[in-house]
């Protein structure tokens, strides 16, 4: 078995006479799923910290207030 392999051990049914069925599986690619989740989280944080998204709200807010004031007059 190599380093980083994920082992799943599941206890099954009672077979009688004190015997139990046991299922053992080696799932070596589970680590890649966690790596992909980490990469997506880093990408999401990078996208959320983009300066273009923060400045767009600041520009739109006064424009909406001015437009509402023009309609009332």
Q: Residue 11 domain-assigned?
A: yes
What pLDDT does residue 2 have? 57
Instruction: Find the Cα–Cα–Cα–Cα dihedral 59, 65, 71, 73, rounded to 10°.
Output: -130
Q: Residue 54 domain-assigned?
A: yes
What pLDDT does residue 61 have? 54
What pLDDT does residue 45 have? 92
Q: Tell me the DSSP string of 43-61.
A: HHHHHHT-HHHHHHHHHHH
pLDDT, tens only, 8-60: 889 988 888 888 999 998 888 888 898 999 999 999 999 988 887 776 555 55
User: How many structural domains does the chain have?
Assistant: 1
Q: Residue 1 domain-assigned?
A: no
Q: Residue 16 domain-assigned?
A: yes
For residue 34, the enclosing domain spans: 6-72
Q: Residue 32 domain-assigned?
A: yes
């Amino acid at each position: 078995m190599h380093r980083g392999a994920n082992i799943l051990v599941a206890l099954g049914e009672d077979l009688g006479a004190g015997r139990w069925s046991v299922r053992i599986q080696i799932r070596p690619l589970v680590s890649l799923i966690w790596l992909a989740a980490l990469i997506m989280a880093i990408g999401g944080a990078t996208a959320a910290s983009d300066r273009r998204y923060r400045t767009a709200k600041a520009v739109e807010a006064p424009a909406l207030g001015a437009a509402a004031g023009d309609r009332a007059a």
